[in-house]
Structure 1
Amino acid sequence: MLKRLSISVLACLLFAGLSGTALATSYYDYSDATGYTQAKHSTADWQRLGRNWDAESSQKAIDTSDDGVSWSIDNGLTWGHKDLTAGQTVKFKFDMYKKEWGRHLEDHLKVWIDWNQDKDFTDAGETVYQAAWDFKKENGYQYGDGFAGISKSFFTSITIPDYAKLGDTWLRARVVCSADNPDLNKMTSTDYYWQGEVEDWKLTVNPVPEPSTMLLVGLGLGGLAVFRRKFQK
């Protein structure tokens, strides 16, 4: 009897341990900015930034699936993630992809930049863009139509403010449906929303080049041109 009881207790403890481990492992899409309060989502079945979405069991330093945010320093001729310069006007692009359409009315996009590098996005001027996508109205879809996916790019131009601290800082972009976040103005940069995705991108803000440096560069280029002409003769 005692032996049977011991085996039963051991089995129960083992099952509880395995169940506890299984229940403790939850997968989310996490924000990546080091030292910032976390944001996370459970599913991208309705909307996401870009085409890729990554389910993680814990927060990582950088989410390699991030692909929905880019910017241009030449007014949209080329897109990427280049360093910026204080006072520069930069064109940003945010790609939202809808895998499915549920019963919600809108998809919400909001973007923050931590200009003063104080590890949050709550200071004045740090909410840099927001938009709502009512694709039913734009595309004429009705609930139940079904589709393989549809994308939309959102563009905005942002001038690096004179109070922005130089060096590395972070941009956070987030998409969520209106079922989770009915009021776009109240959408937060942290905490949890069930649907959607969050992406963090490191921005490097460089100082404006000194006039003397620009002069030296110009003289150097001019001298090189003269040397080439002489060499060709």
Structure 2
Amino acid sequence: MTLSLVHCHPATGTVATITATGGVAVGGYVHHCWRGIGACVTQGRFTNPWYPARVRDALRDGATAKQALDVAVSQDSDAALRQCLVMDAHGRSSVHSGSENIAEVEAVCFPGVAAVGNMLQSRDVVKVLAERFLSVNTTNSGAAIKRSEAPRYPNHHDQHLLANLIDALDAALDTGGDKRGTRSAALRIESFQQAPIDLRVDWSEDVVAALRLLAGQFMSDDFQAFWRQLPLR
């Protein structure tokens, strides 16, 4: 299994991703995000580490999420092995799930929030990941989940993204994770208001607990005093 979520806030340019899998070092291969530009997840039966550069360049040149995804997929002779999610800076998303991915395969897309997964114990895992993220991040989660309103975010919501991403992953994995067990997880947040956050658990028997421990160290007073001095550009 690989399970991923991406989030783009069009009003602020903040982007965020979180990913978990049954293999090692998921953070080095699967999720990518660029503030003010968008995000890309490349996973599936085999990830393609060259998709992100193509997607980023296309988005930066003004392509929509679908156009950027089409660029990457069209250059891949083994696209049937891939699952790729692209979101542009406007929060529009596009998904490619190749025919040779291992079931269960699922994708759920809302404005500014989307989740995908493959080799899942249950397709509900992806739904829970996206809906839990909306529940803890938006001021109108009920309407957003019903798709009757676009998601609305409180001021400075990016300050809570770290904890909320992990909470959403925790809820999703409680629904059923990787058929092999979930052994690595990672997240990244890029914002114009703060330096990037990039946390990775490369191997653990309990990835959520390990990610929470890492987040706690990141939020410690000593590290925060250092991190808040980092340049924003």
Which category of TM-score, normalised to the shorter sequence, fits these structures? under 0.3
Return the TM-score normalized by structure 2: 0.27
More helix by share: 2
If you compute each CA radius of gyration, which structure gives the higher value, 1 or 2? 1
Return the TM-score normalized by structure 1: 0.27
